[in-house]
A and B are shown apart, each in its own frame.
Chain A
C-alpha cells in the first residue's frame, strides 16, 4: 500500500516537473521597446518586429509608443529614476549621456560582430560611442537616421546648384518680384539650429574645442556661414514653419531640409510641379550633410539577463542588411549599413525612387553633433543667435560672440 502510494507520489511529482518545464519552455521573454514612431514608420517597425518574432517564437517584442521625442525623453528619465525603464528604447545622444550618468545602459559593441561594426558608417559609429569609465565603448546603435538634402523644383531647373556660389546665383535668378510682392523665392530659410550648423560645418566650423571646454561657434567659419546666409536672405522665404508647404505650392524653388520630410514634400507638390532631391551644394571646406535621428539603447537596470539577451537579438536583427533596407524603404530613413546602401536590393529600389539617391550619397558624407549632455540648451542658444542675425537685430559677430560666451559660462564651465 505504502509502495503504491510512493509510486503515485513520484508519478505526480514527475508530471508536475514536466508541466513546469513545459510552461517554462513556452513562456515568452517579453522585450518592451519604447519608441516615438507613428504612421508609416510605426507600421514598418511593427512589420519588422513581427518578422523577428516569427523567427524567434520565444521572444515577444512589445512596441510601446510614448509620444514625441520630448515626451519619450521625460518618460525615460522618470522611469530610470523609478528603476523600471523598458528593456530598450530610442534615444538621442544627449539623453544617452544622462542615462550613462545613471549607469543605466548596457554596452552594445561587445554584442555585435566586428563585421557589423565595420559596416556602420564612421560618423554613426562616432555618435554611438561614449567614454564610459575612461574607455570608449559603443553603447547604442543607429536607428532612424535622416540626412540634410537639397529639395528642388525640377520644372524650374534642370540641374541643381553644386556649390554655395551656384546656390546664391540660382536663388537670385529664380526669385520673381511683381510690384512690391515676391511671388517666387529662389530659396527657403527656416531658422532652426541644424539649418545654421549645416552651413557652419561646410565652412569648416567645429562647435566645440577638442576637450569640449569652449564653444567655437563664433569662429571664422561661424561668421562666414552667417554672412553667406545673409546674402541668401533677400532671395529666400524666411519662415519658422516647415518649408515643404511653400515648396509644394511653388512659392520656393529649392530649400535644404531633412530627408525625413520627403513624404511631406511629395504630398505638397503632388499635381503641381516636379521635384527631386540632390546632394547639398558644397561650402568652402566640404559638402558634408548633417545626419540626425535617434539610436537604440538597451537598459541594464530593471531588466533581466534573459530580457537583455533577447533585446540584443532584436538589435542584431535590426542591424541586418535585409531589415535595414526594409526599414529604409518603409520609412524614408537611411539604411544604416554601408553594405546595405551598396546592395543590389537597395540600388534597385533607388532606381525606382530617384529621390532617395541623394540621401544614400549623404550616408557616407555625413557628420553628427558632438556629444554634450546640455546639447538641448546649447542648440537653443545657437538658434537665438541665428534668428537675431536673420532678423537684423544683431551682426553675425555680436550674436555669435554672445551665444558662445553664454554657452561657455552656463553649459561648458562645469
Chain B
C-alpha cells in the first residue's frame, strides 16, 4: 500500500502575523531613528563645548553639559524681539490666509463661473515659478509702496497661498453637492452654507493649511532679511544667521538657538497632529 504523503503545511497564521508585525515595526523603527537623529543631534550639540561639536568619531552624549550655550545664544542677538515678531507675523499671516483660502477654495470647488478651470490652472501655474525669481521684482514693488522695514512687507505678500487653495479645494470637492441642495431647501445662502456646513466638516483640511502656513512663516528667512533693515523687525531664523561667520560656525550656540526656535512648532504640532494628519490624508495628496 502506498504510503500517504505528509500534508505540506505552510507557516501558521500566528507566525505569519508575527513576521508581518516584526517587519512593520522594524521599518517604522528605522524610519523613526532616521527622522529623530537630526533632532537628537541638534539637542546633543546644543550642550557641547565648541571644541566637541565636530569631533570624529561623533559623540551623541557630550562629555560636559554646557548649559551656558543657551544663555550665550540668547544674548547673541535680540531673540526676545525676534520671538515676538515670529509669533505675531505667523499668527496674523495664518489667520488671514485661512480666511482667504476658504473663500477661494470654495469658489473653485463648489461654484460655477466663466473660465473657472482656466483661472485655476493659471493659479497652479504660478506655483512653478521659483520664489527666488520673484525676490527682486517683489522687493522693487514693496519699495515703491514704502513698505520696506514694516510688518506689511512681512505679512501682506503671503496672505494668499496657491498651495493652500489647491489643498482645500481638493478637500471641499470630497463633500457631496447634495449637502448644498439640502441647505438651500432649508433656506441657507452660500455664506451660511460655507460657514455652518463646509467649514466645520473641513476642520482637518483647514488645520493642515493653517499649520503649513504657520511653519512656513516661522521658518522664513530670505524674504524677512531682504525686506527688513532693523533688528526690531526681524524674526528667529534671521537670528540664527548670527552664529555663522566667514571663518566658521558656532555650532553649539546655533543648535541651542535652533532648539529654542523649534519648540513652538513642536508644541503646535503635538496639539494639532491628529487634525493635521487627517487633513493631509483626506485631501487626497498624501
Contacts and interface: CB of A to CB of B under 8 A. Distances in A.
A258 interface: yes
Interface stretch (B34-42, B99-107, B136-144, B182-190): B136-144
A67 B225 contact: yes
A178 interface: no
Interface stretch (B6-14, B53-61, B113-121, B167-175): B53-61
Contact of B246 (A64, A78, A79, A260): A260
B50 interface: yes
Interface in A36-84: 36, 38-39, 41, 64-69, 71, 74-75, 77-79, 81-84
Interface string A16-49: 0000000000000000101010110100000000
A77 B135 CA distance: 11
* Central interface residue in B53, B238, B241, B245, by most chain A CB within 10 Å: B245
A241 interface: yes
A71 B244 contact: no
A267 B244 contact: no
B251 to A, nearest CB: 10
Interface of B: 50-51, 53-56, 76, 135-136, 139-140, 143-144, 148, 222, 225-226, 229-231, 238, 241-248, 250
A364 interface: no
Interface of A: 32, 34, 36, 38-39, 41, 64-69, 71, 74-75, 77-79, 81-84, 86, 146, 241-242, 244-246, 248-249, 251, 258, 260-264, 267-270, 272, 293
Contacts of B140: 78, 81-82
B218 to A, nearest CB: 18
A205 to B, nearest CB: 24
Contacts of B135: 74, 78
Given A74-B226, A78-B139, A82-B143, A261 B247 contact: yes
B245 A39 contact: yes
Contact of B248 (A67, A146, A246, A264): A264
Contact of B51 (A69, A79, A82, A267): A267
A355 to B, nearest CB: 14
B242 A39 contact: yes
B247 A264 contact: yes
